[in-house]
Amino acid sequence: MKKLFSIILSTFLMVNLSFVVSFGETVQNSELIESVQVSQVSQAAIITKADVSRGLLYCREYPVTVQIDDVDVPTKEKDVPPLIVGARTLIPVRAFFEALGATVEWDAENRIVTIENDGSTVELVIDSPVAKVEGKAKILEVPAMIIDHDEDGTGSTMVPLRFVSEGLGAEVSWIEATRTANIVPASTETEEEETSTFETNYGPLNILNSNAKEKMIVIDIGHGGKDTGSIGNQNSSDELYEKDVNLEIGLKVKDLLDLAGARYIFTRESDVSMELYDRPALANDIGADILVSIHNNSFDTEKPEGTEVYYYSKVDEQGLDEGALYGIYSKDIAVLVQKEMVDILGTVDRGAKESEHLAILRRSSMPAIIIEGAFMSNPGNLEKIRTTEFKEKYAYALVKGLITTMNSAF
């Protein structure tokens, strides 16, 4: 059955992905395609020549500035300047990533551009929605493409700024008022210092026991792409999107799960869109044992604050509960994660609450929880949410509670 499913999946993806990019040639790379999940296909955009033309015209009138460590990086006259297509900023690959210190290689025969920096590698196929980061297939909302803006017969190889930068370990910020993107290269020294501080402040994690290590965990990083989630200080110069906070927390969770020896899959690991119902569907399709969704809260007044975790105790058509089916209960996970979150974050305890109305909980087969770390609509909570300390503590509390519950159940 697994072999048959793999064949069907590969065929489905090849058929669908062959129509994803209508600008330029479509590359069907079976090695990449076979490793992509069905739910990710919808993340790729359909890009046309008209989309590119509009992007060029608009960005000539309203230019995009790209910086590295707050210093403007100029483009040569022959290069296509940075432009926005399909809500994604594209930049000429050599002009910017060689300035970042990366090496750029071009495979003309296969139309593949490879960017490498400090051991991190990103590989993109021209006009293909499938890329590789550290050898793992990822879906692009906008693919790499070759654009000849001055029609001189020589084009610039344009790649998605944020996708490649973050794939190389850099951080990217965007200032809408000045249409400026700033790339901050990864610092090995800083990362090692932060890891050391994190371990000192919060102590070592327990590892999963041998039975618990066999269980599959899906971590859903809430919102992403066009879906910003809650917005802190909306319409101000320092507004903060929930999707970005959730992503930072999720990537820290990933590192901690590695330390614990866990098996896991993430619904997203970058700023990409994913439909709400596709998230539990992914967990169901792979036969996950536990689903955890990372969020932060909001309300229409500033008063509510604190942390809460939602769960839904499921019973199947035969009357079997979660314990009988999966060996663990969503309520037990929620209660213990809630306790760790409140203890470690120091937030107001709003409790572990049951709800059958939330899609992540209702549409997933396995025990599932949704964590609402703090309120972005509350000024005091928002101030905490902005800090690295909050994100580290959130991730640590989540994983600690999860490990404790799993080791006890399995």
How many CB atoms are closer than 10 A to CB 62? Answer: 9
Contact 271, 244 (CB under 8 A): yes
Residue 290's DSSP bridge partners are 217
Q: What is the pLDDT of residue 293?
A: 98
Question: Do the beta carbons of residue 114 and residue 122 sit within 8 Å?
Answer: yes
The b-or-e profile of 310-348 (16+ CB within 10 A means b, else e) is bbbbbeeeeeeebeebbebbbbbbbbbbbbbbbebbebb
- According to the model, what pLDDT value does residue 151 have? 74
- Structure confidence at residue 198 (pLDDT): 58
Radius of gyration over every alpha carbon of the chain, rounded to an integer in angstroms = 22
Check if the beta carbon of residue 361 is closer than 8 Å to that of residue 334.
no
Q: Is 292 exposed, middle or buried (0-12, 13-18, 19+ CB in 10 A)?
A: buried
Q: How far apart are CA 395 and CA 199, in angstroms?
A: 13
143 close to 21: Cβ distance less than 8 angstroms = yes
3-class DSSP assignment, residue 178: coil
> Locate tokens 């999860």: which residue?
402
- The strand pairing partners of 372, in sequence order, are 295, 308
Name the 3-class secondary structure at 311.
strand
- Give the H or E element holding residue 103: strand 103-107
Which of 193, 165, 204, 189 shows the shortest CA–CA distance to 82? 165
Q: Please give the structure tokens belonging to residue 248.
A: 């930072």
Q: H-helix or E-strand containing 399?
A: helix 388-409
Tokens 């060689």 belong to residue:
98
Tens digits of residue pLDDT in 27-75: 334 444 444 444 444 444 577 888 888 888 888 888 999 998 888 888 7
What residues are paired with 221 via a beta bridge? Answer: 294
- The token pair at 339 is 């306790």
CA dist 153 and 294 (Å) reads 48
Q: What is the pLDDT of residue 201?
A: 59
Can you tell me whether residue 63 is helix, strand or coil? coil
CA–CA distances in Å: residue 58 to residues 92, 143, 151, 404:
17, 20, 18, 53
Q: Which pLDDT does position 191 carry in this prediction?
A: 44
State which H helix or E strand residue 137 sits in: strand 136-139
Q: What integer pLDDT is reported at residue 337 of this predicted model?
A: 98
> Which pLDDT score, from 0 to 100, does residue 222 have?
97
Cα separation, 142 vs 24, in Å, equals 13
d(CA 78, CA 156): 8
Beta strands 71-72; 65-68: pairing state:
antiparallel
Say what the pLDDT of residue 77 is.
Answer: 76
Contact, 215 vs 227, CB < 8 A? Answer: no
Between CA 354 and CA 99 the distance in angstroms is 52
Domains identified in the chain and CATH numbers: 16-184 (3.30.457.10), 188-409 (3.40.630.40)
For residue 101, what pLDDT is reported? 87
Helical H segments across 119-187, by residue range: 161-167
Q: CA torsion angle for 120, 126, 129, 132 (degrees, to 10)?
A: -20
Q: Which helix (H) or strand (E) holds 146?
A: strand 145-147
Residues of the chain with pLDDT under 50: 1-44, 188-196
CA dist., res. 183 & res. 181, Å (int): 7
What's CA 263's distance to the chain center, in Å?
Answer: 18
Residues 237 and 221: their CA atoms lie apart, in Å, by: 25
Q: How far apart are CA 180 and CA 122, in angstroms?
A: 23
- Phi and psi angles of residue 235, each rounded to the nearest 5 degrees, phi first: 70, 15
